[in-house]
Structure 1
Amino acid sequence: MDRQSASARSPRLALLAASLGFVIICLDVTVVNVALERIGKTLSVGSTGLEWVVNAYTLAFASLLLSAGALGDRLGARRVFVGGLALFTLASIACGLAPSASVLIATRVVQGIAAALCVPSSLSLLNTCFPDPTARAKAVSVWAGTAALALGAGPVVGGVLVDRFGWPSIFLINVPFGVVGIWLTLAHAPDSARNAARHIDLPGQALGVISLAALTFGVVESGRLGWESPSVMTGLAGFVVFSALFVMVERQQPHPMLPLLLFRIPAVNVTSVVGLLLNFGYYGLMFAMSLFFQTVQSYTPLEAGLAFLPMTAVVTVANLVSGALAARFGYRLPMVVGQALAATGFFLSFTMIGAGSSYLTITVPLLAIGVGVALAVPSINVALLTHIDPPYVGIASGVLNTARQIGGAIGVGVFGSLFVGTVSDKVSGLHTAAMIAGGGMVAGALIAIVVLKRAGASIDLRPSTLR
């Protein structure tokens, strides 16, 4: 590309493109929930089919993040991001026009595949567009903030769209955002470096997808069937077996999909563990509190969505603050402080959330949790980008986002399995889950303090040393 066209690029518009792609991907995680009743009536599908309308997306998304990250490193982040966003847009149209539940579930799988292509490559785009660490930290906070806003606004947006325009509108709304995101990416995002020396690792790809699919299936189904279910146990056992095979194969491959030496970098391990713990608590809480508002406090689905708006607002602001803190003090401070604040919120929920608690009382721990998680999430992305060479940002981002997706799925499974029985049992189960999540936040903060080097420290990661 010539100098003039390169100089006409705007990193801010490239950030907007990456954020738009992330927004519609995250929106589809929560927006579908409020449309399930209408979908069930229109397509004549039962509860199991409706669960798979949600789970098909999660399963495909979580299973393919590693492979998609490696593909982005090989082919270039911009190319993979645009391809993923185009596929997501087309799949959204197919979802909105689906004539039956089976077609809708199939197109939701395609959406999940496309989402997996977009997420690691969107982070790689930011790494390329913002080489300055300070600017990159702020960009990552905006990227994460828009995603958090989409997740929190999903139930409200879904409720309004379903009431006014019918359930297909929750999918068709993605189309204009996808088109604009593709155009902005092509116009303003530079073509990132490609690691063409990395060959396609078909055995590693296959085993990675199978192991992650088995884990995601087991965890997702645990909420419906229970952890002792043969299907759930088979899924978890399959994850163990295929993960062991995956590690064995990757050790022998001359060009592995996932270079295992990446895990010698403390930032990779810390961000993955912290990301898993953050999503475990946050997604588990969002799931359980949505049920709490509706089944314990008799809110309508729309009222339950509106109940999360204060939390959504502070999460968006806290994400932006996190970027400023990371730019000035390094990534470790917001990571540790955020987890400490989230832990405080989880522990407060033990005493402040009950069947007869007022909305204002319930909001206090929710705000603490939301702000804490929002402070920590951008910092783990900044920490990862700081310590990874550009040719491996895609696969490293795939590792982090896979860990986060696994954490979220486990959180929903654990919180869901504990939130059962009578009203008293549900509240008690919510308290137990909150204490577990709070303990996880404390553990994550301690890991970040002890394992991570001083903020801003760099590690020499030469691609030639990776196998």
Structure 2
Amino acid sequence: MSLNDTQKPVYGLTIIVTSLAFVVAQLDVSIVNIALPQIADTFKVDISVLQWIVDGYTLAFAVLMLSAGNLSDLFGAKHLFQLGMLLFGIASVACGFATSPFSLIAARVFQGIGAAMMIPSSLAILNQTFADIPGRRAKAIGLWTAAGSAAIAAGPIVGGVLIKLSDWRFIFFINAPLCLAGILLTFRLKQQRIPTLVKKFDFSGQITWMLSITLLIAAVIEWSKLGFTNPLIYGSLLLGVISFIVFLILENRSSYPMLPLNLFNSASFNVLLMLGAVLNGFYYGTVFILSLYLQNILHYPPLTAGLAFLPLTAGFVISNLLSGNVINRYGIRIPIMIGLSLFGLGFFGLFTAGLHTSFWQLSVPFLLISLGMGLSVPAMTNGILASVDKTLSGTASAALNTVRQAAGAIGVAVFGAIAAHGGMAILHTITVSVTAAIVCTILIILMSHKYLNKGI
């Protein structure tokens, strides 16, 4: 038996375990949306509390992602990955047993912390395992991305089925056995690189980073309800900006920065971060509005509305599975530009959304959007990992995913604010989101053509 043959089971197990973590983390981004009416009925709460049930997870995810990536590089990806899965599983059970909306929000925050620990460390494990085999790394990341993308697209479908068969609490309970299986399987993974550099944890950077991102995202979330003239809103925005400036100053002066600013010396790294922001911001925001559109305008019941997103799931799976071979043959620039073109065409197709639009008219745009994202995201992730030393892979992947999660939260907040009055405002919001998405996509295509290398 050749060395290649003996390594195949280890490589396959690595992809399965890391993808499982991405599945549970991404599933909980979207699965809760379909259960919000049932949760509101259980706890007798208004929409502002429901918003925090959703955003408590996303905010913790975005705020702590970079810190967790830094810890992954400092103390080892495998150990942080195991701890993250354990915390996520325990928090999921706590969500299921929540006796009040505030205990549910608190448990959702701990879910977000666990997810933030799992995602950068899972990418770091993949990068370290396949570091010397770029072709396999591209395929592995394609499979990892396919699993997460399919999970986030399938969230409303899975949630609708579980609620129909049982109760909303089971959308959280289902995570526990998945996390337990993931933890047990990690003990069979290939031994990871043991960190040898003695580095200090960047506490000042950690505090200012968390403060800045929390204040900025919270202000965007609450803007539509309180208005800009409310001292909490403009005060949070001002303090958030000041905290971010202080964070950059501290990172520039630190001997052991949480976010090495020299990463941003690379034009391709910066373009890939902007690409991640555009994809997630418009996808999260628009899918949120489309969920309202399907149920409030087209009057689909929750399960039917969830099933309407099946083309998104199919598109993600198909393009992610093909992406590895495409990247190996053409590099990262061509799949990103093709993917962005499909993404933009899909959004253009959403101009057909109206009062009496059929499922089939929506299915083609849904499919194109997911095909485009599924082709772009693995190439983007490969580009980010290839642009840094593998000892910084956790930090680099965390920076990318922090930008993506923050952009997603902002997209939901902004488009949700425009659609706040419901009815025709929802249709108007679709038009606004589609127009903005097309303009931003064209700009990123031009920047990708200019700054991205053809190779990995």
Which ranges of structure 2 fall in alignment gaps of 5 or more residues? none
TM-score, normalisation: structure 1? 0.92
SS of match in other structure, 1:368: helix
Change (3 A) 1:198 1:266: farther
Q: Which whole-Å deviations, capped at 9, do the CAs of 1:390-414 have from their partners, x for residues lacking one?
A: 1111111111011111211122122
Show CA shifts across 1:332-390 (max 9, x none). Answer: 1111111111112222322x222222221122222211111111111110111112111
2:121–2:394 contact (8 Å) kept in structure 1: yes
Superposed displacement of residue 127, structure 1: 0.4
Partner of 1:26: 26
CA distance in 1: counterparts of 2:40 and 2:197, whole angstroms: 46
Task: Give 2:345's aligned residue.
Answer: 344
Q: Does 1:192 align with 2:193?
A: yes
1:465 aligned partner: none
- Aligned position for 1:16: 16
One-letter amino acid of the structure 2 residue matched with residue 410 of structure 1 = I
Q: Could you list the per-position Cα deviations for residues 196-222 of structure 1 after superposition, in whole angstroms to 9, with x for gaps in the alignment? A: 322111101111111111122122224
Q: Answer yes or no: is the 8 Å Cα contact 2:332–2:454 preserved in 1.
A: no
Given that 2:292 and 2:426 are in contact with CA atoms closer than 8 Å, whether structure 1 keeps it comes out as no
Question: Which structure 2 residues correspond to residues 49-448 of structure 1 after superposition, within 5 A?
Answer: 49-131=49-131, 132-194=133-195, 196-222=197-223, 224-225=225-226, 230-350=231-351, 352-421=352-421, 423-448=423-448
8 Å contact from structure 1 (residues 63, 216) kept in 2: no
SS at match of 1:31: helix
Distance in 2, Cα, partners of 1:389 & 1:202:
23
Aligned residue for 1:98, secondary structure, equals: coil
Q: Classify 1:194/1:349 alpha carbon distance in 2 versus 1 (closer, same or farther; 3 Å).
A: same
TM-superposed deviation, 1:235: 3.1
Distance 1:97 1:421, change over 3 A: closer
2:314 & 2:8 partners in 1: Cα distance? 34
Instruction: Sort the Cα spacing of 1:345 and 1:64 in 2 relative to 1 into closer, same or farther, 3 A.
Output: same
Q: Tell me the alpha carbon deviations over residues 53-93 of structure 1, each in whole angstroms, 9 at most, x when there is no partner.
A: 11111111111111111000001111111110111111111
User: For structure 1, which runs of at least 5 residues remain unmatched after alignment?
Assistant: 457-467
Q: Residues 229 and 140 of structure 1: is their aligned pair in 2 closer, same or farther, counting only changes over 3 Å? A: farther
Compute the RMSD of aligned alpha carbons: 1.9
Residue-by-residue CA offset, 1:10-44 (whole Å, 9 max, x unaligned): 11111100010110111111111122222223234
Change over 3 Å in CA distance of 1:433–1:83 after alignment to 2: same
Quick check: 1:280–1:437 contact (8 Å CA) kept in 2? Answer: no
- For residues 414 and 102 of structure 1, do their structure 2 counterparts lie closer, same or farther at Cα, with a shift above 3 Å needed? closer
Superposed displacement of residue 226, structure 1: 5.3
The separation in 2 between residues aligned to 1:37 and 1:171, in whole angstroms, is: 16
- In the alignment of these two chains, the number of paired residues is 451
User: Structure 1 residues 445, 402: closer, same or farther in 2, change over 3 A?
Assistant: same
Post-superposition Cα deviations, 1:80-119, rounded to whole Å, max 9, x if no partner, equal 1111011111111111112222211111111111111111
- In 1, Cα distance between the equivalents of 2:454 and 2:260? 25
User: Whole-Å Cα distance in 2 between the matches of residues 68 and 328 of structure 1?
Assistant: 33
Going from structure 1 to structure 2, the CA distance change for 1:434 and 1:424 (only over 3 Å counts) comes to: same
Q: Report the AA paired with residue 443 of structure 1.
A: L
Contact map agreement 1:268 1:400 (CA 8 A) in 2: no
Aligned AA for 2:384? L
Aligned with 1:393: secondary structure? helix
C-alpha displacement of 1:428: 2.5
User: Cα gap change, 1:224/1:322 in structure 2, threshold over 3 Å: closer, same or farther?
Assistant: farther
CA distance in structure 2 between the partners assigned to 1:426 and 1:95 by the alignment: 30
CA shift, 1:421, in A, is 4.1
Q: What CA distance in whole angstroms lies between the structure 2 residues aligned with 1:254 and 1:127? A: 25
Q: Cα distance, 1:128 vs. partner?
A: 1.3
CA positional deviation for 1:189: 3.8
How far, CA to CA, are the matches of 1:222 and 1:347 in structure 2?
28
Counterpart-to-counterpart distance in 1, 2:415 and 2:108: 24
Checking the alignment, whether the CA contact within 8 Å between 2:53 and 2:104 is kept in structure 1 is: yes
3-state DSSP of counterpart to 1:32? helix
- Name the aligned partner's letter for residue 95 of structure 2: C
Give the counterpart letter for 2:276 in structure 1.
G
Q: Which residue identity lines up with residue 142 of structure 2 in the other structure?
A: S
CA distance change for structure 1 residues 7 and 436 in 2, over 3 Å: closer, same or farther? closer
Give the SS at the match of 1:45: coil
Deviation at 1:192, TM superposition (A): 2.9
- Aligned counterparts of 2:83 and 2:25: Cα–Cα separation in 1: 14
Residue 293 of structure 1 deviates from its aligned partner by 0.6
User: What CA distance in whole angstroms lies between the structure 1 residues aligned with 2:88 and 2:109?
Assistant: 10
- Does the CA-based 8 Å contact 2:289-2:426 persist in structure 1? no
Q: Is the 8 A contact 1:193 1:390 kept in 2?
A: no
* Counterpart residue number, 1:464: none
